[in-house]
Structure 1
């Protein structure tokens, strides 16, 4: 059997296929800029042509959006994907769609130890639940419950929870953001575009002028070079990230680990490992003792979602997965 896995991102989509006769030798990776394609069908047609795969037995795709049955309308791309229609129009027998952070959560057990960095040791409980959170093009959240030694990720749209300021500076940020819209979600700040917003706000507060358009990558580069406004934006990003994860942890206690994934954290490791993150994560007043027991890990593997999608495809195909009984 031929298995195909995909991690569909708002910026980049990644794919890998596997022949069941060589289960330990997956293919090389295929990367595509998502926004170059008018639809997922067009992207998948290009992939099948480029890879030379004539037929796929089982495919699993992690997608950024709420999956309803066999359909999903993506959050950060103008696509609606219908797995049933894809199976009729393309040489793919079975297609499974899962939320992208469900896929990321499935990939945790496929990580090697050197791809995980402990930010807060907590008190690890091997019988506990997990939580996977990650900022990238958007902000993903996946609660993961454990039952009889197996982990079961749940999909959510927790990144769209309304932002709640906890400092005077954040209150000024909220007032500034409210000039453009009424509902401010955490994803509006904890994402690539969110970091760009924070930089515009910090620059405006400092100089009274709007900066030239600046990408999230450039903000990070400027901060590393010592730019005062970029440093302020990155520090605010880390503060808000910490407080958000701490808030979600109160809803979903994760004594078997909180895992920070997504495309941003792994690129700003130096900033995430400073005291700023943990101090805001732990700042829950009467609930400090609850969150401080939860270990927090930063995932430094951009293929986490793809690994999870492949594990899901293997389960659907009935193939053995290392580490599972």
Structure 2
């Protein structure tokens, strides 16, 4: 039996297969592709199957960035519309499950090694509580996870598209500037790779440096590490807004068994996330401070968490792991 798992993002897509035999199980290396290099998801899968010399997949599970509607999804940050029936018609796939990418990340929590978590806020861990998984990458993902009888059940959501709410005068100025460009400003517009670039542009303009080149997200981080003023201001704003968004999400979905910050950005800027500003903005909830204060917050440093979760779901679909 051959199982295939995929974690698809707006920037990159990662896959891993598992061959289960009577006597042994073989797990492949992780295969990565640039999502933008392919006109469709089926084209990407076809390339993967050729590269791995796979003739048939018995069970597949793919975590995808967008609202999954039964057996189809239109991706948020890619021009792809995916339908299971069309995938199976074109490719040798017997059983296919589509889940939201942050559902996959939530499933991957229990597959993580202990050293893949950094505690940002200790809180008071309650093993009987719910979980919450959030994360900024190409977009901003949110997955509420409820617990029942010791088992965790991730739910899909598009919580990253909630409207950004300023917390101080600087953020009021930022929102006013953003409203000159967009009518609706979501948290994802700021808490994402492109969001960090937007924050950098804003601080360049505030500093009167309109002629300075606009940097990509990774370049903003590198410049901030060198102490470049606009980059430091952008990354500081990013971490502050990240903290307040996580706190807002925690009010919607109390998670005393832990809030887990996944996504591609958090782990790369761990030094900044571990500073006091993140926790300060996370707790800035006035009368509700004591509510969020109870919830532990962990930063996930394993970027394969979504792939681990998708593979776990594939194993469940194949009957190799007990379903919750």
TM-score normalised to the size of structure 1? 0.98
Other-structure match for 2:4 = 4
Aligned to 1:308: 309
Report if aligned partners of 1:115, 1:299 keep a CA contact under 8 Å in 2. yes
Secondary structure of the equivalent of 2:27? coil
2:82 and 2:203 map into 1 onto residues whose CA distance is: 38
What's 2:99 paired with? 98
In the alignment, the residues of structure 2 paired with residue 208 and residue 218 of structure 1 have an alpha-carbon distance, to the nearest angstrom, of 17
Q: Does structure 2 conserve the Cα–Cα contact (< 8 Å) formed by 1:204 and 1:211?
A: no
Partner residue, 1:233: 234
Structure 1 residues 24 and 130: alpha-carbon distance in aligned structure 2, compared to 1, 3 A threshold: farther
Distance 1:320 1:169 in 2: 50
Q: Which residue in 2 is equivalent to 1:190?
A: 191
1:29 corresponds in structure 2 to 30
Unaligned regions of 5+ residues in structure 2, if any? none
The aligned residue for residue 136 of structure 2 is 135
1:185-217 CA distances to partner (integer Å, 9 max, x unpaired)?
000000000000000001110125253121000
Counterpart-to-counterpart distance in 2, 1:24 and 1:241: 40
Question: Cα offset for 1:303?
Answer: 0.2
**How far 1:69 moved relative to its partner?**
1.3
Q: Separation in 1 of the partners of 2:249 and 2:35?
A: 29
More divergent stretch after superposition (4-13 vs 207-216): 207-216
Contact 2:143 2:157 (8 Å CA) reproduced? yes
Q: 1:48 aligned to 2:70? A: no
Q: Structure 1 residues 218, 208: closer, same or farther in 2, change over 3 A?
A: closer
What SS does structure 1 have at the residue aligned with 2:265? Answer: helix
Alpha-carbon distance between aligned partners in 1 of 2:311 and 2:241, rounded to the nearest angstrom: 32
CA-to-aligned-CA distance 1:96-127 (integer Å, 9 cap, x gap): 00000000000000000000000001000000
Q: TM-score, normalised by structure 2?
A: 0.98
Partner of 2:207: 206
2-side partners of 1:68 and 1:282: how far apart? 35
Q: Is the alpha carbon distance of 1:208 and 1:215 closer, same or farther for their aligned partners in structure 2, counting shifts above 3 Å?
A: closer
What's 2:158 paired with? 157
Residues 1:255 and 2:265 aligned together: no
Distance 1:102 1:25 in 2: 25
Supply the distance in 2 between the matched residues of 1:105 and 1:177 (Cα, whole angstroms): 32
Distance 1:257-1:140 versus aligned 2 partners, 3 A rule: same
SS in 2 for 1:268: helix
1:291 aligned residue? 292
Deviates more, 1:20-29 or 1:230-239: 20-29
Q: Is the 8 A contact 2:20 2:26 kept in 1?
A: no
Number of residue pairs aligned between Structure 1 and Structure 2: 323
| Structure 1 residues 231-255: Cα deviation after superposition (integer angstroms, max 9, x where no partner) | 0000000000000000010010000
Which residue pairs with 1:57 in the alignment?
58
Cα-Cα RMSD: 1.2
CA distance in 2, matches of 1:198, 1:180: 13
Displacement of 1:25 after TM fit? 3.8
Establish whether residue 319 from structure 1 lines up as the match of residue 307 from structure 2: no
Instruction: State the Cα deviation string for residues 147-175 of structure 1 (Å, max 9, x = none).
Output: 11110000000000000001101010001
Aligned to 2:268: 267
Measure the CA separation in 1 of the matches of 2:53 and 2:278: 45
In the alignment, which residue of structure 2 is the partner of 1:14?
Answer: 14
CA distance in 2, matches of 1:240, 1:24: 44
The one-character-per-residue Cα deviations of 1:209-228 (angstroms, maximum 9, x if unpaired) are: 25312100000000000101
Give 5+ residue unaligned stretches, structure 1.
Answer: none
